[in-house]
Amino acid sequence: MGELGLVGAVRGDHKRRTTVADPAAERLANLVRRNFAADRPNRLWVADRSHR
């Protein structure tokens, strides 16, 4: 199986990390000026649309 690149099933909470964040890296500016604080209930709605 190893020669063919096959692996067995993994059960449980095993998640593979593909990247590791650099804590010293500069963070990008918040150009959208996101403000998710509502002054009262049901006042601020946020949606995420994917364009496919």
The DSSP result for 10-50, as a single string, is --SS----S----TTSPPPP-TT------SSTT--------
Report pLDDT for 50.
Answer: 65
pTM (2 d.p.): 0.25
Nearest to 38 by CA among 28, 46, 30: 46
The pLDDT-based confidence of 52 (bands split at 50, 70, 90) is low
- Residues 4-46: pLDDT tens digits? 888 888 777 767 778 888 889 888 887 777 777 778 888 777 7
The pLDDT-based confidence of 51 (bands split at 50, 70, 90) is low
